Amino acid sequence: MTKKIPPNAIETEVFQTLSNYGFTERKQAKTIDTYEIDSDFILQVFTDRVNAFDFDLNATVPDKGQISAALNYLWFMQIFPDFPNHLANTNGINDIHNFASTYPGIDKKRCFIIRNLSKDILKTKYVLREHIGGAVYEEYKKFGTASGQRLKPNLSKWSKLRKPIFTPKQKNLIGHDEIYDTESFFNETKDAGKEWIDKLLELCTRAYAYTGKRGIIFMDTRFEGTLTTLTKEILTTDSTRFILKKDWKRAMKLNIEPDFFDNTPIKKWARSIPTPFSVQGLNNLDPSDPIHISWVHKLSVPKKVIAETAFNEHTIFELLAGMSLENFQKKIMNC
């Protein structure tokens, strides 16, 4: 499946290199491209594309793809090497190195070889929340629940939960994903689903403890995969709502909305855009409407917004990895 990407977001160098080797059948998600190598293995490419409210924007953020790939390496290969994931490794080294030897010019800094698990991947996105907020907060205010789970009453928005909760989302190919209740998920997946979510909740707790020691925490994060294996990405800025720990404490003390520390500059700009559709902000448009899509694709993202987002990306990575992206790539990823 190839979708229409805005002109300034097309990364021709990466695509051309792969096309020259005959890898022309690519599938494009919001920020990740994949190419089938054979029936068992896939080449995964993290792009510099950016997305806001399910719209692809006509811009790229420098180093974003490399940072996402490096974060996946950090979490999958270093912090949680014991947790099952989709990476195709040999003796603890991803097979991208062998692949790049066969096909020179492949960017090892933004690519992985992964196992083809597409037949077993669920349409459910596993959203885990350490704090109450986001898409489930309206439900909580009305009913005291999140995806049908009863929570402690009178929690202010973005309060820390006693333990993380699972709120499933249904993937939609077009438009916004939809939250549904956990009972329905467990009715469908039975004991296998319960066992898997327990493992993800434990993983979330471990990750939250790791980030907290480094001055940054996350409100919620999204996982994808099968009922036994994580796929796609883990705890990147595209899948996770990060915030500096001190900023969250300040926001809770003053009872104000936190200033999240990830792609917030993009989202703030996207919310502020006047549109010709009698609403303000991309968050009030329909990402399944071709007219809305065409209009959004013509927008230019201000350079200042791109620069602020790039700064956040690098800062988050350095806090989590304890070194710069360049040093991590050289010393840890051997790129």
| Mean pLDDT, residues 24-44 | 90
- Per the prediction, the chain carries an average pLDDT of 93
Cα 157 to Cα 53: distance, rounded to the nearest angstrom: 21
Angle between helices 303-321 and 182-212 (to 10 degrees): 80
> Pick from 140, 127, 193: which is nearest to 166 by CA?
127
3-class secondary-structure state, position 53: coil
Q: Does residue 126 have a pLDDT over 50? A: yes
Determine the pLDDT at residue 174.
53
Cα 160 to Cα 201: distance, rounded to the nearest angstrom: 15
Determine the pLDDT at residue 284.
96
pLDDT cut 90: percent of the chain above it:
85
3-class secondary-structure state, position 161: strand
**Contact at 8 Å (CB) between 312 and 261?**
yes
Q: Does residue 3 have a pLDDT over 90? A: no
Model confidence at 116, in pLDDT bands (50, 70, 90)?
Answer: very high
* 161 CB-near residues (< 8 Å, 6+ apart): 129, 130, 131, 132, 151, 155
Residue type present at position 32: I
Determine the pLDDT at residue 157.
97
- HSE value, Cβ hemisphere, 13 Å, CA-based, for 318: 11
CATH 3.30.200.20 fits domain 8-117: yes
> Pick from 41, 39, 2: which is nearest to 19 by CA?
2
* 32 CB-near residues (< 8 Å, 6+ apart): 44, 45, 46, 47, 68, 232, 233
Q: Does residue 296 have a pLDDT over 80? A: yes
Model confidence at 330, in pLDDT bands (50, 70, 90)?
Answer: very high
> pLDDT by residue (tens digit) across 278-293?
999 999 999 989 999 9
Determine the pLDDT at residue 175.
55
Alpha helical stretches, state H, the chain: 12-20, 64-73, 96-102, 137-143, 182-212, 245-254, 264-272, 290-297, 303-321, 325-331
CATH 3.30.470.20 fits domain 124-228: yes
Domain assignments of the chain as residue spans, ordered by start: 8-117, 124-228
> pLDDT by residue (tens digit) across 169-180?
986 655 566 788
**Contact at 8 Å (CB) between 42 and 116?**
yes
Backbone φ and ψ for 292, nearest 5 degrees, come out as -65, -45
Q: Does residue 272 have a pLDDT over 90? A: yes
- Which tokens in the block code for residue 285? 């448009």
> pLDDT by residue (tens digit) across 231-270?
999 999 999 999 999 999 999 999 999 989 888 899 999 9
Min mean pLDDT across 113-117, 175-179, 209-213 is at: 175-179
- Which tokens in the block code for residue 261? 């520390």
**Contact at 8 Å (CB) between 96 and 107?**
no
Q: Does residue 1 have a pLDDT over 50? A: no
Task: Count other Cβ atoms within 10 Å, centred on residue 19.
Answer: 13
Cα 253 to Cα 143: distance, rounded to the nearest angstrom: 25
Residue type present at position 78: Q
Determine the pLDDT at residue 180.
87
Determine the pLDDT at residue 13.
79
Determine the pLDDT at residue 7.
82
- Which tokens in the block code for residue 9? 């977001």
Q: Does residue 159 have a pLDDT over 60? A: yes
Q: Does residue 45 have a pLDDT over 50? A: yes
Tell me which H or E stretch contains 223: strand 216-225
CA distances from 248 to 96, 227, 258, 335 (A): 38, 33, 6, 35
